[in-house]
Chain A
């Protein structure tokens, strides 16, 4: 049950950027000349990391050609087991589609090998090979044959396919008359009835209405539950976390290996922020009446990791230059994916008497989150300072990312099998009654 079905060993793929013309011809002749003599390809040495944000530095008169070669994938190695649903995530340009293309044999790798057990079917795009002049019926057969199904197979599943697509009325009309949604529905209907041992899906769910998306995810879950292996590339993290059993993060062509889905998502998200665990923001946001200088988050141990058992202190420091009326100081807590979790403001409890009118001077506000409230995970704390009904002075620009870990808090005593605790792991009051008759 846990034998490997895909074994990817040291796959690398190098691409040459820029246009193809006489310059590249010179390179090609050079590479061929090296290959004839049995020597190593000279350009593989120059292959750079695939960082799409770095622009070419024109080094004066010597515009060095080797800048053109990048490694889209470098020494990627991992193994996929039977029945695993692997979610592959990464930023744009990380190499996800390249990896899938190599697996689907659309292009070939520069070095390394892949061993596969079972038939692979890839959905790199829906509606591959649809010919717009042919009717839906004819296209089902054509598309099915392109994806690798035998004619008899398609014929026996024809009615199911039409039903799944929901395009029954239009099945004998040329496909060029279909709406784009129907196009996708028909295409996915054909693809959904493939019976491969290994299914590779590349971000094809970005289209279609909500009902269709659910149908698609449902169908993929069926495929996964029937013991088949699925490789799924998506930017939709909620789909990944609900559907995948393990995750792989690709970062500029390299990977650290397969991990659990939650770990992969966390790794992907934390690499987004420029600082890994930056829990304080220090700077100057100037406004005519106020100058914001500091926003920081820490546990009650002041430094080091924040544990779920600690109370969390959030500090706001600013400098008032002109008298300010109706000041609002608030805190937003968001998940790392951007869903808002909580809001708390200084005026919440009037009994506390926190001021909203301030004269010039240096001020510090602090809000304390009680221990055992937030579960372990990654959060964003966003300050919200402004003048009621007038304007916001400080917002997203001073946000910090915070990680909370759980090494001695709630939830560690018993293993319940639930991987995702959610965002809150509070300590609420429980009661117990024994009602058995004596």
Chain B
């Protein structure tokens, strides 16, 4: 629409009440990449302030969890682990799952926990969950080092392992990326939905715990009875966890499942960004 005054006026920015729904504005996030990096640094640095051991604490959780799982699920419940040593089996499942659950749980409270900074200054709001997803990588790397140490220990002790090195090389970053996007997508969907009506926040914490049982982390997917197999396969994380485990420990890589997981991931990401964009405009009025 033309203004009555200087038509020759070129405006750098036009602020309208609504943006077209298909406009993801990802170039804005790219312009603010320095800020994303600053957030990552801040998240990482602030966790270890005033601790002596620092990042070593990241080893403790998977170690203790694996030991507990071995005790309960392998020794007590006697759930088979596909012929692989239980500790290794559980660790291979926990390491990627921890990354995903950390991404999901932290991004799902983006709006509410950052309301004070969002309310004072503009920057593309997507920068915050993206920074969360990147800073969780540090935790993953540390836990992955632990896993790798165990892998090496078992291999050196003669356990029959069949790691598919080519798959590992390509799949590890690929799976990581996929988990990051899935965590980001579902996290921002939940975040957008829970800004005004906070009902879903109660679900998130224990929902993620329950979801771990619905994913083949503690048991191999092959063990699931036929009638439930469909639901397990529907879960995108199933294929990712199975693929991660198979690549490192031997076993078939579920390519079909991965394809489904990728599709679900990208759909949830796209939907997530759309809903996020709608909510970020005036969530400050109701958060």
Interface residues of A (CB under 8 A from B): 3-4, 7, 15, 20, 24-25, 28, 101-120, 122, 124-125, 128-129, 131, 133-134, 138, 141-142, 145-148, 150-151, 174
Contacts and interface: CB of A to CB of B under 8 A. Distances in A.
Contacts of B16: 113
Main secondary structure of the interface of B (DSSP, over half): loop
A15 B196 contact: no
B121 interface: yes
Nearest to B198: A20
B11 A107 contact: no
Nearest to B8: A3
Contacts of A147: 121
Interface string B244-287: 00000000000000000000000000000000000001101110
A327 B14 CA distance: 67
Contact of B17 (A113, A120, A142): A113
Contacts of B120: 106, 124-125, 128-129
Contact of B15 (A114, A133, A148): A114
Given A106-B122, A145-B32, A151-B37, 16 more contacts: A4-B5, A15-B285, A102-B15, A106-B121, A108-B18, A110-B17, A113-B14, A115-B15, A116-B12, A116-B15, A118-B12, A122-B122, A125-B120, A142-B38, A145-B38, A150-B34
B118 A106 contact: yes
Q: Determine chain A's interface SS by DSSP, over half rule.
A: mixed
Contact of B9 (A3, A102, A119, A141): A3
B13 A134 contact: no
Q: Which 3 A-B pairs have the closest CB atoms?
A: A108-B281, A114-B15, A105-B122
B46 interface: yes
A134 B168 CA distance: 37
Given A106-B284, A125-B120, A146-B117, A116 B11 contact: yes
A145 B281 contact: no
Contact of B35 (A3, A101, A145): A145
Contact of A20 (B118, B119, B286): B286
Contacts of B49: 133-134, 174
A301 B32 CA distance: 67
Given A7-B3, A129-B117, A146-B121, A112 B17 contact: yes
Range for the number of chain B residues in contact with chain A: 35 or more
A25 B197 contact: yes
Interface string B78-92: 000000000000000
A150 B197 CA distance: 36
Interface centre among B9, B121, B197 (most CB of A within 10 A): B121
B14 A114 contact: yes
B160 interface: no
- Which residue among A7, A25, A102, A103 has the maximum number of chain B CB atoms within 10 Å of its CB? A7
B123 to A, nearest CB: 6
A434 B120 CA distance: 64
Interface in B128-177: none
18 contacts: A3-B6, A4-B9, A7-B3, A106-B118, A110-B17, A113-B14, A115-B11, A115-B13, A116-B15, A122-B121, A124-B121, A134-B42, A134-B45, A146-B35, A146-B123, A147-B121, A148-B32, A174-B49
